[in-house]
Amino acid sequence: MVSFDPTVAEHDHHDPAPTGGRAVRIGIGGPVGSGKTALVAALARSLAGRVRLAVVTNDIYTTEDADFLRRNAVLPPERVEAVQTGCCPHTAIRDDITANLDAIETLEERFGDLELVLVESGGDNLTAVFSRGLVDRQIFVVDVAGGDKVPRKGGPGVTTADLLVINKTDLAPLVGADLGVMTGDAARIRGELPVIAQSLVQDPGAAEVGAWVCAQVDAVRAAV
Amino acid sequence: MAGLASLVLADARFPGGGHVHSGGLEEAAERGLVTGTASLHAFLRGRLRTAGRVAACAAAAAAHPSGPDRLGALDAALDARTPSLAQREASRAQGRAALRAVRAAWPSPALDALVAVHRRPHHPLLVGVVVGAAGEPPAAAARCVGYLAVSGPASAAVRLLGLDPFAVNAAIVALGDDLDAVTDEAAALAGGDPGDLPAPGAPLLDLMAESHVHHHRERVRLFAS
């Protein structure tokens, strides 16, 4: 039941004044089911002692997701902001980034000393990329179970992301995916841009991606 | 005569965060109150003649030459005419969201004055201030805001219910007379006392806005309002 008695209504939202400072923003995009949320959880867990971080999620967000991050990522719920994307996940990270910028600034105002905000996109297709007005760096996540021809198909996510992660490598023999084809195609299509193949089953802390993220945080902060 | 500002602000491609708001349509669809083009048309017409009318009148008043001096009173008048906290929040969220794009395109002292009244200005006042500062008449601001009051929910209906986009577009156009009436009234009242702005009630919209937020805490909602 919704109470509509004005005497029991909550107070109007109060916005604290901005405290200044700006966290490094890293976008994590990729198709549905490729392991974006699991990667965010792994990074939050492994980076928690090293970097002051928060998460904006554009994924269809349920209490299960919040519980997942709470349980698996030692990330308190106040460090996670959910954005509603009005059924258009790519619009919210590319064409109209306003809701995401508002969420990031809300987190920055709430914590004051954030160093890193991970922005997880809703699961989308291969053409979705983050606007450079929203993030400083972006990671595109694909997985071996999504088909080993995915890197070959290209699309701006695969070709232009600052880091391509090929996820769930432990599943490759089970789904008949040729990891060599995937990494080879990715390297050919991406040129100098890095590719990391990983399995969160074998490496729950996502050590290699975590090291890349830390290096990006240092690089962006040094450049500001 | 409509100018570029009111056209750009009414464009669905304007990057002001409007695409994540459904104006109560998501809740109405969830409850089976809007199921097709006919019920959508009724929903839009009701919304235009209540919430849209209030918003259009506020936008026209803010666009009036005397608007920048009365922004505090207009802000209070809109609060008073928006009994649902969820709707006040949705209006201020859209105002704050659009501020980013607006500041980049139309910086003006009137805009600074609006933000000085409230860091998260009501969206209709933001539109009114920008349209007025761009030299357009109050009617242009009213028409823009009245149109947005129905175009946003209509677009949400296409996405949530899979309605025929041609039929939905025709349903918006069929509201032309209603939009004219709202625009004319808003323009006529633009220079008056903010306390005299009309205050039509839409209890069902108010309740659905509250219910939408309530359900956000329990299960999935794809729109912010």
CATH number (domain holding residue B116) = 1.10.4190.10
Q: Is the pLDDT of residue A2 over 70?
A: no
| CB atoms A60 and B210 under 8 Å | no
Provide ipTM, 2 decimals. Answer: 0.81
Does B96 sit within 8 Å of A60, measured CB to CB? no
Q: What pLDDT shows up at residue A5?
A: 64
Q: pLDDT tens digits, residue range A6-41?
A: 556 566 765 555 455 689 999 999 998 899 989 999
- Contacts of residue B203 in chain A, CB cutoff 8 Å? 4
Distance from CA of B184 to the nearest CA of A (A): 32
Q: Which of A12, A62, A87 sits opposite B219 (nearest CB)?
A: A62
Cβ atoms of residues A60 and A68 within 8 Å: no
- The verdict on A64 touching B (C-beta cutoff 8 Å) is no
A67 touches chain B (CB under 8 A): no
Chain B from 193 to 222: CB within 8 A of any A CB: 203, 206-207, 210-211, 214, 218-222
* Average pLDDT, integer, range B9-31: 93
Which residues 9-28 of A are in CB contact (within 8 Å) with B?
Answer: 9-10, 12-13, 15, 17
CA nearest A9 in B: which residue?
B85
Helix axis angle for B138-161 and B37-47, nearest 10°, is: 150
Contact list in A for residue B20 (CB cut-off 8 A) is 83-86, 92, 99
Q: Could you give the number of structural domains in chain B?
A: 1
For residues A185-214, give the mean pLDDT: 95
Q: Cβ contact (<8 Å) for B88 and A12?
A: yes
Identify which of A13, A63, A85 has the shortest CB distance to residue B20. A85
Q: What is the pLDDT of residues B64-120, one digit of tens each?
A: 999 999 999 999 999 999 999 999 999 999 999 999 999 999 999 999 999 999 999
Q: What is the pTM of this model?
A: 0.86
H helix or E strand, kind and range, residue B219? none
Position of tokens 């004219």?
B180
Look over chain B and give the mean of its residue pLDDT values, rounded to a whole number. 94
**CA-based nearest residue to B20, from B208, B156, B172, B210:** B156
- Judge whether B211 lies within some domain: yes
As a three-state string, the secondary structure of chain A is CCCCCHHHCCCCCCCCCCCCCCCEEEEEECCCCCCHHHHHHHHHHHHCCCCCEEEEECCCCCHHHHHHHHHHHCCCHHHEEECCCCCCHHHHHHHCCHHHHHHHHHHHHHHCCCCEEEEECCCCCCCCCCCCCCCCEEEEEEEHHHCCCHHHHCCHHHHHCCEEEEECHHHHHHHCCCHHHHHHHHHHHHCCCCEEECCCCCCCCCHHHHHHHHHHHHHHHHHC
CB B147 within 8 A of CB B140: no
Q: Quick check: is B49 in a domain?
A: yes
**Taking CB atoms and an 8 Å cutoff, what residues of chain B touch A9?**
85
Please check whether residue B88 touches A, CB under 8 A: yes
Chain A residues inside the 8 Å CB shell of B100: 98, 101
Who contacts B214 (Cβ-Cβ below 8 Å, separation ≥6)? A2
In a domain, B224, yes or no: no
- Nearest CA to CA, how far is B87 from chain A (Å)? 11
User: Which pLDDT belongs to residue A90?
Assistant: 86
Q: Is B201 helix (H, G, I), strand (E, B) or coil?
A: coil
Q: What is the pLDDT of residue B29?
A: 93
CB contact under 8 Å between B20 and A62, yes or no, is no
Instruction: Provide mean pLDDT across the span B153-157.
Output: 96
Within a domain: B208: yes
B13/A10 touch (CB, cutoff 8 Å), yes or no = no
Name the range with the highest mean pLDDT among A86-90, B30-34, B135-139. B135-139
| Four-residue CA torsion sign, A28, A31, A37, A38 | negative
Range of the domain at B116: 4-10+19-218
Cα distance from A87 to chain B (closest Cα, Å)? 6
Q: Do A2 and B214 make contact, defined as CB atoms within 8 angstroms?
A: yes
Q: What is the number of CB-based contacts under 8 A between chain A and chain B?
A: 79
Question: Degrees (nearest 5) of the Cα angle A3, B96, B14?
Answer: 115
Q: Mutate which of A4, A84, A94, A105 to disrupt the B interface (most B C-beta within 10 Å)? A: A84
Judge: A10–B85 Cβ closer than 8 Å, yes or no: yes
A63 Cβ under 8 Å from any chain B Cβ: yes
A6: contact with B, CB 8 A cutoff: yes
In angstroms, the separation between the Cα of residue A4 and the nearest Cα of chain B is 7
A99 touches chain B (CB under 8 A): yes
pLDDT single digits (tens) B32-65: 999 999 999 999 999 999 999 999 999 999 999 9
Is B203 in a helix, a strand, or coil?
helix
